[in-house]
Structure 1
Amino acid sequence: MTGKVPVIYQLSLHSNSYPDIECLALQHNPAFNAIASPERFVDIAKAMGVDTTGMNQEQAIDAGIQAIADLSTKVGTAQRLGELGVKEDKLAFMAQNALNNACSLTNLRKASLEEIVAIYRSCL
C-alpha cells in the first residue's frame, strides 16, 4: 500500500533484521510517497489510532508517521540504519540497486538515484 517494496528489499540485503528494515521504511518512505497519494497516508494515520479531526492532510500524515515511529520505539526495533551496520559509503550502491530492481516500478512515485540516497541517508 505504501509503495515501500524497493526500499525494504534493498535494505534487507544489508541486514539480518527484516522487522527493523520494515519499521525504518515505514517511518521514512511515507514522507516521499505521500505526495503521490496523500489520502492513503491519512488513512494510515487513522489506522494507527490518530484522531485527525481538525488536521489538514499534511498534519495528519505527519501524525501518522510519528505514530509509526512511536510504535517502532515501543517494540524495540532499530531506529537508524547505522544500528544495523549500514555505512554511508554503501548508500549510492544500495540506491542504484533499488533503481535497478523491478519492484521500483510499483513505487507510488518515481525516484531518482539522489532521492533514494537521501531517503537512505535520512535513515542513517
Structure 2
Amino acid sequence: MTELEYPQVQGVAPGNGYSHVVAGTGQWVAVSGQVALDPDGAFVGVGDPGAQAEQVFANLERCLATVGATFGNVVKMTFFVTDMAYMPAIRAVRDRYIPGPKPAASAVQVAALFSPDVLLEIEAFAIV
C-alpha cells in the first residue's frame, strides 16, 4: 500500500472529518463521481441518503479495487449533494469505509444532479 502522509497545517483550524493536506508518492488515480446505481444500472435508495451513500461507497470500493487500490490510498474526495442535511448520513457510511485518517475533502451543495432520484455523487482521487 502507498505510504500517505497527513501533515498538520500550522495556522489553519483543524478539519472535522477530513485532512487539509494528504501527500504520497505513486501513480495518480482518478475515480469519476459515483452515484447510487447498482450493477444493472437501477437506482438504489431513492429518497434515502444513507442507502444511497452505501451504494456509492460500494461502487467507489469496486472502482478502486480495479486498479489495486483501497480507501487507504484515497487522498481526496469531493461530495456533491443536493442538500447539506444529507452529510451526517453520508459521513456515517464514509466512517465505516474509511475508519482511520480521512482524505482531504470538499462538500458542495448543488441544485441538481443528472436525475432527481440522485441525492449525492462522490468522486475520489488516490495514489497507488
Write 1 or 2 for the structure with the bigger share of strand: 2
**TM value normalised by structure 1:** 0.33
Query: Normalising by the residue count of structure 2, what TM-score does the alignment of the two structures yield?
Result: 0.32
